[in-house]
């Protein structure tokens, strides 16, 4: 039998030779001095009907030690006793290992994404991919999906938690779990390490009420006054005209800020853009169902577009905005990348610069519209001699596109009460626009303060 000392001392000769061990294992020494572990065995029959002679290689010495070579020989003999060819099993294992290495987390995640993307809205699809490219792929994207265990994935999610993004960490866990479930179904992996991590992450914080300028303001007159002042203060700020017009458009329509960000010119109806002096009494903004808040059924609902009747003041804002971005995909494009929408933080930043930090956020216009218009409707209804709540309350809910508990009723009401909705939109626009400059006055104003000299107080 061979010893490690004999294997180490073997030198090259004029012709290759073998140093035998036991059980058909031997060290093949080449004329160049290479030392390779091999094993001769028989499996099956050859063309002549005799046992087929085969040779199996186990690697080179000293990378593969004598002890390791014997272990590989014993495993090969075990396969032979089971009627399996160790050479074929070796090739199968190599291919399986190569396939495993090729099925990295990122590769499998992108396959899962391509499978699910057709059922998502454009906004949600972009959010899913952005979150993975930002937080998952840099950390574990190049690892074989079978090599990712729960502790490693938890480390990645805790990094996201430490920057304060608790909800993002929870969403990433859910997306990672969906990727592993897809991998299991596709035969790529056997377990979902993300499934058990929900309780290991911090609980999602309770959602805070979005601050609105009318909070703790009791009288209707004062509510209207603070809304008008807020809009005037923002108009007085030095920034791009498009940003100030976006804020006013948001205040007039009371839609969700995300619906403003991705507003596209093709969504508007009933406006003759070629005749700026022509009134547009039937002007309408049709927001696609896929961009609305709600579950996937809501987003895929046929005829589920949200209809926003536009007041004359809103149309005037649109006509002014069209001078700035009429040739671009979005009404309110990014300053640096005009094919992309403004950042989700742009309008909030304007409010902060105008002095409304933690006093009002873009979403706060919805609360302002709801509170003011509901109380106004109830007052007018009572003055007309009624004792119950105004029917305008349900109509205002429709205008705010609140997700109804009854989906069938919600679908039926998408376009209901349009004449009254238009009246309420015009009344709101008349109320909050009083005293404001015309939208066109924002064009050509300075957008920044000078680097030196007097600036904003």
Indicate which residue of 204, 293, 379, 386 is catalytic: 293
Indicate which residue of 95, 149, 278, 412 is catalytic: 412
Cβ burial of 213 (10 Å; 0-12, 13-18, 19+) is: buried
The answer to whether 256 is a known catalytic residue is yes
The answer to whether 124 is a known catalytic residue is no
| Ramachandran quadrant class, 401 (left: phi over 0; alpha: psi -120 to 50; beta: rest) | left
3-class DSSP state for residue 442? helix
Tokens of residue 75, six digits: 């495993």
Indicate which residue of 70, 348, 366, 421 is catalytic: 366
Indicate which residue of 291, 363, 376, 421 is catalytic: 363
The answer to whether 28 is a known catalytic residue is no
Displacement of CA 218 from its chain's centroid (Å): 39
DSSP 8-state secondary structure symbol assigned to residue 359: T
Radius of gyration, alpha carbons of the chain: 35
The answer to whether 337 is a known catalytic residue is no
Indicate which residue of 256, 360, 376, 422 is catalytic: 256
The answer to whether 13 is a known catalytic residue is no
d(CA 277, CA 317): 13
Assess whether the previous peptide bond of 229 is cis (omega < 30° from 0).
no
Closest CA to 331 of 425, 251, 255, 267: 267
Tokens of residue 291, six digits: 């961009």
d(CA 374, CA 388): 13
In degrees rounded to 5, what are phi and psi of residue 254? 55, 30
d(CA 242, CA 333): 8
Catalytic machinery residues: 256, 293, 363, 366, 402, 412
């Amino acid at each position: 039998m061979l010893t490690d000392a004999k294997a180490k001392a073997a030198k090259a000769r004029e012709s290759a030779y073998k140093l035998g061990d036991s059980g058909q294992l031997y060290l093949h020494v080449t004329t160049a001095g290479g030392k390779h572990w091999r094993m001769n065995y028989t499996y099956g029959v050859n063309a002549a009907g005799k046992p087929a002679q085969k040779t199996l290689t186990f690697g080179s010495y000293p990378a593969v030690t004598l002890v390791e070579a014997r272990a590989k020989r014993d495993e090969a003999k075990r396969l032979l006793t089971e009627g399996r060819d160790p050479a074929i099993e070796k090739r199968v294992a190599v291919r399986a290992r190569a396939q495993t290495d090729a099925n990295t987390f990122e590769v499998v995640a992108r396959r899962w994404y391509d499978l699910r993307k057709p059922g998502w809205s454009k906004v949600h699809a972009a959010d899913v991919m952005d979150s993975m490219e930002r937080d998952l792929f840099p950390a574990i994207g190049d690892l074989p999906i079978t090599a990712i265990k729960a502790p490693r994935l938890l480390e990645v999610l805790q990094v996201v938690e430490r920057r304060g993004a608790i909800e993002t960490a929870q969403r990433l866990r859910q997306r990672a779990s969906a990727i592993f479930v897809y991998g299991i179904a596709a035969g790529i992996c056997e377990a979902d390490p993300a499934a058990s991590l929900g309780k290991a992450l911090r609980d999602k914080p309770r959602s805070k009420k979005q601050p609105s300028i009318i909070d703790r303001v009791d009288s209707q007159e004062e509510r209207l006054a603070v809304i008008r002042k807020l809009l005037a203060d923002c108009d007085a700020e030095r920034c791009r005209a498009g940003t100030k017009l976006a804020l006013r458009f948001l205040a007039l329509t009371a839609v969700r800020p995300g619906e403003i960000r991705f507003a596209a010119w093709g969504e508007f109806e009933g406006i003759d853009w070629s005749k700026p002096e022509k009134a547009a009494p039937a002007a309408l903004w049709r927001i696609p169902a896929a961009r609305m808040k709600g579950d996937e059924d809501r987003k895929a609902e046929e005829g589920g577009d949200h209809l926003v009747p536009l007041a004359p003041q809103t149309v005037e804002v649109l006509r002014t905005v069209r001078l700035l971005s009429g040739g671009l995909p979005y009404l309110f494009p990014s300053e640096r990348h005009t094919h992309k929408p403004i950042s989700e933080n742009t309008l909030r930043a304007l409010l902060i610069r105008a002095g409304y930090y933690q006093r009002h956020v873009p979403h706060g216009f919805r609360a302002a519209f709801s509170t003011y218009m509901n109380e106004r409707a109830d007052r007018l209804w009572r003055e007309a001699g009624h004792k119950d709540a105004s029917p305008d309350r349900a109509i205002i809910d429709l205008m705010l596109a609140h997700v109804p508990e009854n989906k069938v009723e919600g679908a039926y009401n998408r376009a209901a009460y349009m004449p009254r909705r238009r009246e309420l939109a015009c009344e709101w626009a008349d109320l909050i626009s009083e005293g404001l400059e015309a939208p066109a006055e924002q064009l050509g104003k300075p957008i920044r303060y000078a680097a030196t000299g007097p600036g904003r107080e």
